[in-house]
Amino acid sequence: MIQAFHVAKQYDRESSALADVTLHVKKGEFCFLTGPSGAGKTTFLKLVFREEIPSAGQILVAGRNVTAIPEAQIPELRRQVGVVFQDFKLLKRRTVLENVAFVLRILGVPAKEQKRRAFAALKAVGLHHKLHAFPLQLSGGEQQRVAIARALINEPMLLLADEPTGNLDPEMASEIMKLFEEVNARGTTVLVATHDREMIQRMGRRVITIERGRVASQ
Ligand SMILES: Nc1ncnc2c1ncn2[C@@H]1O[C@H](COP(=O)(O)OP(=O)(O)O)[C@@H](O)[C@H]1O
Ligand SMILES: [Mg+2]
């Protein structure tokens, strides 16, 4: 699903965020990307969903070279790759339902279809009883579940999560991890970047460690 070959990323001349990363994540896998703060985890994820472009090397996502795809094909890639962030990134003035349906609205999906699919996604994360609540009326764990529903709305083949439990207490963090396992069991490849060693150990999945921009172990 993800094949990275000798990927390097320099944001500026003095320092490099990724020095040389070669790694593979298979279709259907659930794995963790870990390493100390500043190791390059977020940078790697950004390269996978083409928020950033590598300075060297190549990244293939489902066989497609995302370093070389034309701008016009980026929306198509983003439909196939769901992304979840530490700070949820929800629209505060929109309801739960509107937050999840938003992507579909932009894609021009008819209103009725938007609602049906957003409801189904919210049901999958156990939040269909909070459709009309606003993000700030929800707990952190619930907000993250809304963000996950939003990431899943297009049934992506790949789900990327960047420190998804960083703002949550341990109990809520476990619930989010359970949810990722369910998503993975339904066929989506999941890659979670986190520096939470305890959680990684509990989960017992494959772990890729990067340190100072290089793969230290996998
Ligand atoms: N937009 C940016 N501009 C300049 N340097 C950046 C930028 N984003 C990250 N970096 C630097 O790249 C390195 C890796 O950062 P990051 O990928 O965020 O690591 P991690 O997610 O593992 O903490 C750090 O030294 C960071 O300061
Ligand atoms: Mg990070």
What domains lie within the chain, and their CATH numbers?
2-217 (3.40.50.300)
In angstroms, what is the span from residue 168 Cα to ligand 2's centroid? 16
Q: What is the pTM of this model?
A: 0.94
Which ligand neighbours the alpha carbon of 161 most closely? Answer: 2
At residue 23, does pLDDT exceed 90?
Answer: yes
Residue to mutate (ligand 1; options 9, 10, 11, 52; most atoms within 8 A of CB)? 11
Backbone angles phi, psi at 182, to 5 degrees: -65, -45
How far apart, in whole angstroms, are the C-alpha atoms of residue 106 and residue 154? 12
Q: What is the dihedral of CA 211, 157, 80, 24, to 10 degrees?
A: 30
Of ligand 1's listed atoms, the one at least distance from the Cα of 45 is 17
pLDDT band at 218 (very low <50, low <70, confident <90, very high): confident
Backbone angles phi, psi at 14, to 5 degrees: -75, -40
At residue 24, does pLDDT exceed 90?
Answer: yes
What confidence tens digit (pLDDT) does each residue in 126-155 have?
999 999 999 999 999 999 999 999 999 998
Q: Which residues line ligand 1 (CB under 6 A)?
A: 11-12, 15, 17, 35, 37-43
- From its phi and psi, is residue 102 left (phi > 0), alpha (psi between -120 and 50) or beta? alpha
In angstroms, what is the span from residue 108 Cα to ligand 2's centroid? 32
